[in-house]
Structure 1
Amino acid sequence: MKWLFGARARLRWIHLILGGALSMPYFLLGSVFVGPFIGNQNVFTSTALQFGAFGVALPIAALTAFFPLVRPLSVGAVRALCGVPRGRLADGPAGSGPARVRTAAWFTLHLGLGGVISGMTLAVPPFAVTLIVLPLLTWLRDTPLGLPEVFDHTWAPALAPVAGAAMLVALAACAALAGALLARWAPVLLGPTPADRLAAAERRAADLTVRNRLARELHDSVGHALSAVTLQAGAARRVLDSDVEFVREALTAIEETTRRTVGELDTVLGLLRQGDDAGGDLPGPTLDVLDDLLANSGVKVAYTQDGDPAARAPEAVSREAYRIVQEGLSNALRHGDAAPVSLRIALRGEELEIVMENPLPERAPVVRPGGGRGLPGTAERATLLGGHAEAGPHGDTWRLTARLPVGGDAGGGR
């Protein structure tokens, strides 16, 4: 009996009654259209006329269902009351013609079945209860209840409770079957169309792109800061008693590095809190402040530039170039034994070129399981700008090279 009176069956029954309630304005409008054809006769005095008005009401309801917002409202009710999994239903308004037609078909089906079941729910229980109590209240037999003639027989009252209970069970069965029918057809009529699936895939791709951008920012900013701070703290600890001036310089570099990184971290976390609004340009340091990065990087850097890239490169290119240099310095700190690094940044026609080199360590660096994320992130940064980046051994040095397009108006070059 669970499928008749269980929690899911009751919720689906409520969903049908909701459809019946929604059908009432359309039914009243349909009775207005039927009125001229029946003269002075009241539509509510005839079951046939009521069904006629209801038949006129359903096409009117179908027309109103072409409004885009009907689908999200219907989907919300189905998810809450019909037990249909979320993934099988579409999100958002119907944006195409086929989606609106399917939504109109669903709305008509819901209101049609809901109107019938709601009418039965109003009419059947009072009559069934009367039959159940008929043997106990003998005076009911002498009142005009409109019972069929079969109940005039002397043996009929004894069977009246059985008939009343059967009517209630039949009502519950009709409601359960109608609810199951709606639950079965909901994914078909309210499910995502190919256009909906494409739009959802584009939203997921855009969200993943934003998340990857934020992940790269956190990795490059925080990863470099931790590497620099660790190296400088270790060096200061080793000469704590012999070189106070070096310790003072190391602590100053640590302070500057952590202060800058906290600001960058706060910016990224602010974008994370914005959620969907974080899809615009991501703010961050550019080549204008590259000197501060190099001064507090924890390694000696021989820096040369050609063409004034800090002033002439577009902001997006300048920002990504800064991060690429930062990742190169982080790799030199982690794997290059803090050996001196040479850095060259040059504007060559329509391209910004970055070349970083540091000596290979005597011992092979320890590689984390699964590899790091820094160099793949550098390649992604360059690719998103339409450029290219690569890194690897080059003779007895480790070389990181990146080429980023800047447009024909950047100028520069030798």
Structure 2
Amino acid sequence: MRISTVTMFDQSVASMNRQQSDFLKVGQQIASGRRVVNPSDDPQAASRAVGVSQAKAVTQQFADARVSARNSLAQGESVLNSVSDGITSAKTLLVQAASDTLSDVDRQSVASELRGIYESLIGQANATDGNGRYLFGGYKDDSPPFARTTGVGISGANYVGDESIREQRIDASRLMPVADNGKTIFQSVPSGAGYVARAEKESAGNISIGTQSGYVRNEGSVTFTGPSRVDPDNAHFGKPFELEFATNVDGDPIFSVSAIEADGTRTPIVTDEAYESGKSVSFGGVSITLEGTPVDGDQLQLRPANHEDANQDVFKSLKDAIDLLELDQEGADENRAHFRNTINTVMRELDNSLDNVLTVRASMGARLNELDVVDAVSTNRMTNYEKTLSDLVDLDYSEAIAEYSLRQVGLQAAQKAFVDVKGLSLFNYL
């Protein structure tokens, strides 16, 4: 069979082009470090690699979200640490103010220190993060969550923020709260906080430290200690109680206790029991110690700390204490009783507020620990993705270098063959 010169040239050039193409392909693989440079190199591996790369990108996005969540939680936890220190300092000052050795001037000095703590807590409650968002305002960022109110004594504070809890997705299956709202922190108490009692006095020289449900009359000199929980299984435990003093036919003091039902009706549980100063009395699963001399018609209210009519606002508790310490407490026994009762109530409320702040802070700490766990899982996941992606598209350098040498020899052989074929012409012998 005769082969034309053109055919030999075409086959030689095609062979060199093919060898050169294979040689360049191996060179590109070595230069890029990837076995699959183009999808056509291995369509199946390229397709799987796209899916793995997308999974890596999503995992990285969640990692970035956890950084943001950790910053928010760390800032919130730091602020709550300062808040708990402030409440603890306020309690210490109230213990100091309750001493009988202090004069009105001394108590007013304590009130000035409490005012500083109050202002500091307001500032902490309206703290912002590094992006200008309020830490405890929920999703409302256009104004401080706690707004000043006017009233007797120092101004109060109302929560005007969003009652939602800001959340952030930190993983495909986890939506984490990253900032608690101010109402949950500063105007709530933990469950199971027990009872809080209030007995208040109203006269020309004093203001009534108000309750959520109205005025409680207490014109005598009765003081209380407690209340404390004695029987949580009692049928009336968990209901508000109202204790009222009266006198019997002999003029001796007696008292009655009613449980306030959800519809506002009163169920008598103690009726016309003789009152004895310094004696502890129990009713409805709680116990309270009463001292002093009551006046006919005086009242005492006991409510669960988390009841809707009980004060759960740490700012109101501090405001009540400051207003009280700035009043004239010297003089009649009833003035001193009013002072001690209010201090007792405020101390119990501050205890509950501190417990609530510490509970929220512990929750933030638990969420920070959870972020560490999720980070560790995410790191392992990213490692697996990297390994899978490497198995799919990365280059085996030892195999590639051997292939590179082979393709180089093949290209050289094709070039040498072309040179030899080109020389096969009869004209070279004429």
TM-score by length of 2: 0.22
Say which one has the larger Rg. Answer: 2
Ranked by relative contact order (alpha carbons within 8 Å, sequence separation 6 or more), the top structure is 2
Of Structure 1 and Structure 2, the greater helix share is in 1
TM-score by length of 1: 0.22
Of Structure 1 and Structure 2, the greater strand share is in 2
